Structure 1
Amino acid sequence: MSGEGAPTLRIEKAGDLRVAVVAALWHTTVMDGLLAGARRALDEADVRDPLVLRVPGSFELPVAAARLARANYDAVVALGVVVRGATPHFDYVCHAATDGLTRVAVDTGVPVGFGVLTTDDDAQALDRAGLEGSREDKGHEAAQAALATVVALRDCYA
Structure 2
Amino acid sequence: MSGEGAPKLEVDAAGLKVAIIASQWHQTVMDGLLDGARRGLADAGVTDVTELRVPGVFELTVAAARLATAGFDAIVTLGVVIRGGTPHFDYVCEAATTGLTLVSERTGIPVGFGVLTCDNDEQAIARSGLPGSSEDKGHEAATAAVATAVTLSAWSR
TM-score (normalised: structure 1): 0.97
**2:16–2:48 CA contact under 8 A, matched in 1:** no
SS class of match (1:132): coil
Q: List per-residue Cα deviations over 1:87-139 (Å, max 9, x = no partner).
A: 00000000000000000000000000000000000000000000001000000
Segments of 4+ in structure 1 off by > 2 A? Answer: none
Q: Which runs of 5+ in 1 are unaligned?
A: none
Q: State how far apart, in whole Å, the 1-side matches of 2:60 and 2:118 are.
A: 17
2:46 counterpart residue number: 47
Letter matched to residue 87 of structure 1 = T
* 5+ long unaligned stretches in structure 2: none
Structure 1: how far apart are the matches of 2:48 and 2:74? 13
Q: Counterpart amino acid of 2:19?
A: A
Q: Distance in 1 between matches of 2:153 and 2:109?
A: 11
Deviations 1:15-60, CA, capped at 9 Å, x for gaps: 1100000000000000000000000011111111300000000000
* Percent of pairs with identical residues: 66
- 2:34: which partner in 1? 35
In the aligned structure 1, how far is the partner of 2:151 from the partner of 2:10?
A: 11
What SS does structure 2 have at the residue aligned with 1:65? helix
> C-alpha separation between the residues in 2 aligned to 1:154 and 1:5?
26
Matched residue, 2:75: 76
Task: Report the Cα distance in structure 1 between the residues aligned to 2:48 and 2:39, rounded to whole angstroms.
Answer: 12
Q: Is residue 22 of structure 1 aligned with residue 47 of structure 2?
A: no
Deviates more, 1:110-119 or 1:41-50: 41-50
Q: Which moved more, 1:81-90 or 1:46-55?
A: 46-55
Q: Who is 1:110 aligned against? A: 109
Q: Give distance in 2, aligned partners of 1:66 and 1:153.
A: 19
TM-score by length of 2: 0.97
SS in 2 for 1:125: helix
CA distance in 2, matches of 1:70, 1:134: 35
